[in-house]
A and B are shown apart, each in its own frame.
Chain A
Amino acid sequence: MQHDVLAHTEDFGGPDQHLESRLCVPGKDAPYEQYALGKPFDEMFTPEGKVRSHYASLDGRLSTLAPEELLRRQQAVELSFLHQGITFTVYSDNQATERIIPTDLLPRIVTAQEWARIEAGLKQRIQVLNLFLRDIYGDARVLKDGIIPRSMIYGSKHYRREMRGLPVPHGAYVNVCGSDLIRGENGEFVILEDNLRVPSGVSYMLANRDVVRRAFPAVFRSMGVRAIEHYPNELLAMLRSLAPFHEDVSIAVLTPGVFNSAYFEHAFLARQMGVELVEGRDLLVNDNVVYTRTTSGLKRIDVIYRRIDDDFIDPLNFREDSALGVPGIFNAYRAGNVVIANALGTGVADDKAIYAYVPRLIRYYLSEEPILNNVETYLCREEKALDHVLANLDKLVVKAVGESGGYGMLVGPHASKAERAAFAEKIKADPDNYIAQPTIQLSTAPTFVDGGVEARHVDLRPFILHGETTTIVPGALTRVALKRGSLVVNSSQGGGSKDTWVLSE
C-alpha cells in the first residue's frame, strides 16, 4: 500500500481493542481538549460525557493517533480532492481561484435503528409529495377540500400551469430528492427542508466515502458500515424505469456547463452511469423529438436527468433569456417524446410554506401519522402566527419562502436589534413570503479542527430515488458548520461535509 498516501499498514493488523468505552472527558482529555458539550444533542458523547457505543471504535482509533498523523491524513484528503478537481471557483480581482469544499476526516455515524426510522419516514414523505404534485397538476382535490389555501399554489412562482393535465411516468414527479434532516435537543431526527428541484451533493457523499474509508480502514471494516457505492447504478435503473419502453433507452445528464458550481457532480454521475453528459447547446428539437448533435449525425434522446432549473430549461416556454436551455424541449416533453427528471414544476412542493403543511398532507393522502416530524413552523400569513413571530423575533429563525442556500434569512438570537427591526419591516410588508421556526440547535458531531477534535453542528441529507419504485441508498451527505457555534452548514457560507456511516446492525 506504499503508493496510497491515506492508507497505513498499522490499520490493517490486530484486533480492535477499544470497543468498550474508555474513560475520557470531553473538554479535558486528548484529543478532545476543546470539545464543548452544551445544550445541543451530541452525536458522540452522552450528556454525562460518556462515548456512545457506536462511536467507541472511532474513539479508540483517535486516542492512539498522534494529532500530527490526523493532520497529515486530513491534508492528504484535501490534496486528493484538489487533484480530482472536486472544486468550486471563486472569482475576485480578475483571478479565478479554485477551492475545495472542506471535507472533515471524521465520519458521522448513524445506527441501524435510527436509519430504519429515517428510511421509512422519507419513503412516506416522498410518496405523499408525489401524490400532492399529481393532485395539484390534476384534479386539485386538496384545494377543493380546503386543506391548503388556493392562493398558496396558484400564487407560487414555482407553480407551472404548463404542467396541468400532463401525465408523468408512474406518477413520479420528484425522481431525485435530497431532504435535509436535523436532530433536535432530544435527539429526534426531524425534517428541516425538502429539496425537490435539482438537489445536489450526492457526489460528495460518494467522494467522502472513498477517501475516509482509506483514512480509517480498520475501523471502517470492523463496524459493518453499509455500502453506498451502488448509487449511480440505482440512479440509472430509476431513470430507465421512466422510459416508456425498456430496450435501448438513450439517457443523458443535462448540465448548465463547466461554470456551474456542481459541474463536477454532473460529470461524475454521467461517467459513473456511463451515459452522455450534455449541455443545452448539444441538444436540438425537431418535430417534437430531442436529439444530440454527434460527429456522425443526430441521435435521439429518451430520458434527460436535468440539472438545470425549470426557469432555464426552455427559452421558448420559460425564461427567454436563458442561454443554457434547449428551445422547444418542453413541447417534446408534452408530446411524450422525452422524459425529464425531475419533472417540471416540483418546486411548488418544496416551498418553505408548503413544508409546514406536509404533516397535514400525510394524514390527508395516506391517513397515516408522519413518521418523521417537521420542525415547528409558524406561517406568517396566518395572523396569530405573525403576531407571535414579531413578538419573539429574538428567539426565532425567519426565512423567506422562495430562497435557499441560507440567503434571505434572519437568525434572531445572533442578530443585532437594528437588524431585527429592519427584518420586521420586511415581514410586515410581505407576510406571505415568510415563515419562522424556533432556533433549533442542530446536533453536534466530532470534527477535526486545528489539530484537535471539537464539536461542530451538523445536518443530514440523504438522497431518495423515486421511479417505478423508491430506493434510498443507506448513506447521506452530512454537512458541517466549521465555524465554532455556527449553525449555517451551507457550502456557500463556510460549511464543509463529512462522510456518513450507516451501520448494518
Chain B
Amino acid sequence: MLSRVADSLYWMARYIERAEHTARLVAVKLESMVEQTREDADASWHRVVEALSAEEFAGKGHDAYVITQALAFNRFNSSSLLSSLRFARDNARQVREQLSTEVWEHLNKLYLRLQPVTTEAVWGHHPARIFREALEDLHTLEGVIYSTLSHNEGWHFIQLGRHIERAQLVSRLLDLYYRQVPGVTTPKYFDWLVLLKFCTAFEPYCKAYTAQIKPETIAEFLVFDAEFPHSVRFSIDSICDALNRVAPAAPPARRANVERLAGKLKATVDFGQIEELMSGAIVPFLADVTRQCEQIHEAVHLSYIAYGAETVL
C-alpha cells in the first residue's frame, strides 16, 4: 500500500474519532446541565473544554452557548467538531479511490449537512439534538467502514488511527477526573455518571458493576476492561493487533522498533493494577500511556510512511 495512502487513512480515522468524541461530550453535557447546580455545571463545562483542548477558543467564562460554539462550529479551532470533520473529509478525498463509494458519500454528506449549521440556529429549541444526530451518523459511518471496505492493510491503518486517538482522548478525560487540583471543585456523584456517559459506558458499566457509582470501579472499568470498546486496554489491544498486520512485507529490521514499542505499551496495561492506580499512580500512569501512544505514532511514521529511500535501496 502506498505510504501516503496509509497516512491519509490513518489520519482520516483519527479525525473521525475526534469528531465522535467531541460530538458526544457536547451532547452529553448539554443534556445533563439542566440537572446540575450552577457551580457544578460550570466546573463540568470547564472539564469538557479542557478535555478537548479548547481553552483558547472557549474563553474564561462558563457560558454554555459560547463554549458550544467554540467546541462545535468554530472553524478556527482546529479540533472543533466541524474542523475534525473537515480534516477527516480532506484526508478521505486524498484517497478517494481507496474508499468505497458508501464510505465517501456518507462522510461527505455528513460534512455538507453540518457545514452551514450555526450555534444560533440550533440553540432555540433542543441544542443537543444536532450532536445526537451527528453521533448517530458517525456510528453509522463506523459500520459502513466495517462492512464496505476490505479488511486489508488500509483497514488496519484505519483501526490503528482510531484507537491511538481514542486511547489518548480517554486517558486525557480520565486524567481530568482523577487529578486532585487544590481549589477546583472535586467531582460529585453526578459527575461520575456523566463521565461514564462521555465514554458511552453507563450501561455496560452497570452490567459489570451494578449501578453503584464509585470512582475506583469506574477507573477499573474505563482503564482495564478488556471487552468494552472505549476502555484504554481495549484500544491498546486494538493498536497492537493493527500493528501486527500493517506493512506485512516490510523487512524485520524496519518493523523492530514499532513492535518493541507496541509490546511495551501492552505490558503497561497488562501488568497494571487498580489498587496501585488508586493509591496515587493513576495520573502518571495515564500520562505514560499517552506518551507511549505518541512514540508509536512517531515510530510508525518513520518506519512505514516517511522512511528515507536510501534506507531501502
Chain A residues close to B by CB (< 8 Å): 82-85, 258, 263-264, 267-268, 270-271, 276-279, 281-282, 284, 286, 291-298
> What chain A residues lie within 8 Å of B112 (beta carbons)?
82-83
Q: Contact between B309 and A298 (Cβ–Cβ < 8 Å)?
A: yes
What's the nearest-Cβ distance from chain A to residue B295, in Å?
A: 19
CA of A276 to CA of B1 in the docked complex: distance in angstroms? 9
Contact status B93-A293, CB under 8 Å: no
Taking CB atoms, residues of chain B closer than 8 Å to A293 are 2-4, 307, 309
Given contacts A286-B313, A295-B247, contact A271 B2 (CB under 8 A): no
- Considering only residues 17-32 of chain B, those with a C-beta below 8 Å from chain A are none
Cβ-based interface call for B312 (8 A): yes
* A295–B97 touching, CB < 8 Å: no
Once the chains bind, are A298 and B312 in contact (CB under 8 Å)? yes
Q: Which residues of B contact A (CB under 8 A)?
A: 1-4, 6, 90, 93-94, 96-98, 101, 104-105, 108-109, 112, 153, 246-251, 304-305, 307, 309, 312-313
CB contacts (< 8 Å) of B1 on chain A: these are: 294-296
Indicate which residue in B109, B153, B251, B313 contacts A83 across the interface (CB closer than 8 Å): B109
**Contacting residues, chain A, for B307 (C-beta < 8 A):** 293
Query: What is the CA–CA distance of A284 and B109 in the complex, to the nearest angstrom?
Result: 36
Closest partner residue, chain B, to A269 (CB atom): B97
B6 cross-chain contacts in A, Cβ below 8 A? 295
B313 touches A294 (CB 8 A): no
Secondary structure at the B interface, as helix, strand, loop or mixed, is helix
What would be 11 A-B contacts, judged by CB atoms less than 8 Å apart?
A83-B109, A85-B104, A85-B108, A267-B96, A276-B2, A281-B4, A293-B2, A294-B3, A295-B153, A295-B247, A296-B304
Known: A84-B101, A294-B1, A297-B312. 5 other contacts (CB 8 A): A84-B105, A85-B96, A85-B108, A286-B309, A297-B249
Partner of A295, one of B93, B94, B305, B313: B305
Report A-chain residues with C-beta under 8 Å of the C-beta of B312.
297-298
Which of chain B's residues has its CB closest to A287's CB? B313
Shortest Cβ gap from B200 to chain A (Å): 29
Q: Complex Cα distance A270/B312, Å?
A: 27
**A282→B305 CA distance, assembly (Å):** 10
Residues in B with CB closer than 8 Å to A268 are 97
Q: Name the one of A85, A276, A291, A294 contacting B93, with C-beta atoms under 8 angstroms.
A: A85
Residues on A with C-beta less than 8 A from B250 are: 295-297
Contact assessment for B96 and A282 in the assembled complex, using a CB-CB cutoff below 8 Å: no
Measured CB to CB, the nearest residue on chain A to B157 is A295
- A324 shortest CB reach to chain B, Å: 14
Tell me, in angstroms, the Cα distance from A84 to B112 when the chains sit together: 11
